[in-house]
Chain A
Amino acid sequence: MSTRLTSDEEELARLISQGDPEAFRALFVAYFPILCRYAEKYLGDTTLAEDVVQETFIKVWKNRGTYPTAPELKGFLYTVTRNGCLNVLRSRMREEQRHKVAAAAQEEDDIAGLEHLAAIYVQVAGMPAKMREVFLLSFEQGLSIGQIAQKMDISEKTVRNQKYKSLQLLRRRLGGQTLLYFF
Chain B
Amino acid sequence: MQTDDSISRAIYIGRLLFRQADGQSLTDEERQAVDAWVRAEPGRERILDATLDRRAIAAALRELLERYDTQRSMSIVFDQLGLTEVIRTPEPARKASIHPLRWAAAAAVILLVGAGAWLVRDRRGHASAPPAIVFHAPDIPPGTNKAILTLAGGRQVVLDSTGNGPIAQQGSVRIVNRNGHLVYEGTTDAVFLNKVATPRGGQYQFDLPDGSRVWLNAASSITFPTAFVGGERKVTLTGEAFFDVARDQRHPFVVEANGTHISVLGTSFDVMAYSDEEALRTTLVQGAVSVSRDGRDRLLAPGEQAIVRPGSPISVDAHADVDKAIAWKTGYFMFDDTDLKTLMREVSRWYDIDIVYGVTDFSGKYGGRISRNSSLRQLTELLEGNDIYHYKIDGRKLIVLP
B51 is an interface residue with CB less than 8 A from chain A? yes
Assembly CA distance A36 to B109 (angstroms): 21
Q: Which residue of B lies closest to A14 (CB)?
A: B125
Q: Are A175 and B74 in contact (CB under 8 A)?
A: no
Q: Are A115 and B119 in contact (CB under 8 A)?
A: no
Given A109-B44, A113-B50, A177-B119, A46–B108 Cβ distance below 8 Å? no
Which of chain B's residues have a CB closer than 8 A to the CB of A170? 22
> Looking at chain A's contact residues, is the secondary structure mostly helix, strand, loop, or mixed?
helix
Q: Are B68 and A15 in contact (CB under 8 A)?
A: no
Q: Are A33 and B366 in contact (CB under 8 A)?
A: no
Which of chain B's residues have a CB closer than 8 A to the CB of A124? 61
B58 smallest CB distance to A (angstroms): 4
Interface residues in B, total, Cβ within 8 A: 84
Assembly CA distance A11 to B368 (angstroms): 26
Q: Are A79 and B7 in contact (CB under 8 A)?
A: yes
B57 is an interface residue with CB less than 8 A from chain A? yes
The 0/1 profile, CB within 8 Å of B marked 1, for residues 1-23 of chain A is: 11111101001100100001111
Interface residues in A, total, Cβ within 8 A: 85
Q: Are A71 and B115 in contact (CB under 8 A)?
A: no
Given A50-B69, A53-B73, A111-B10, A4–B15 Cβ distance below 8 Å? yes
Q: Are B62 and A140 in contact (CB under 8 A)?
A: yes
The stretch from A87-95, A131-139, A157-165 touching chain B is: A131-139
Which of chain A's residues have a CB closer than 8 A to the CB of B118? 12, 15, 20, 22-23, 25-26
Besides A25-B114, A108-B2, 13 new A-B residue pairs in contact (Cβ under 8 A), listed by A number: A29-B114, A32-B74, A34-B64, A36-B67, A49-B68, A75-B7, A75-B11, A78-B11, A107-B7, A109-B47, A112-B11, A117-B57, A182-B364
Q: Which 7 A-B pairs have the closest CB atoms?
A: A115-B14, A26-B118, A111-B10, A140-B58, A119-B18, A129-B108, A180-B386
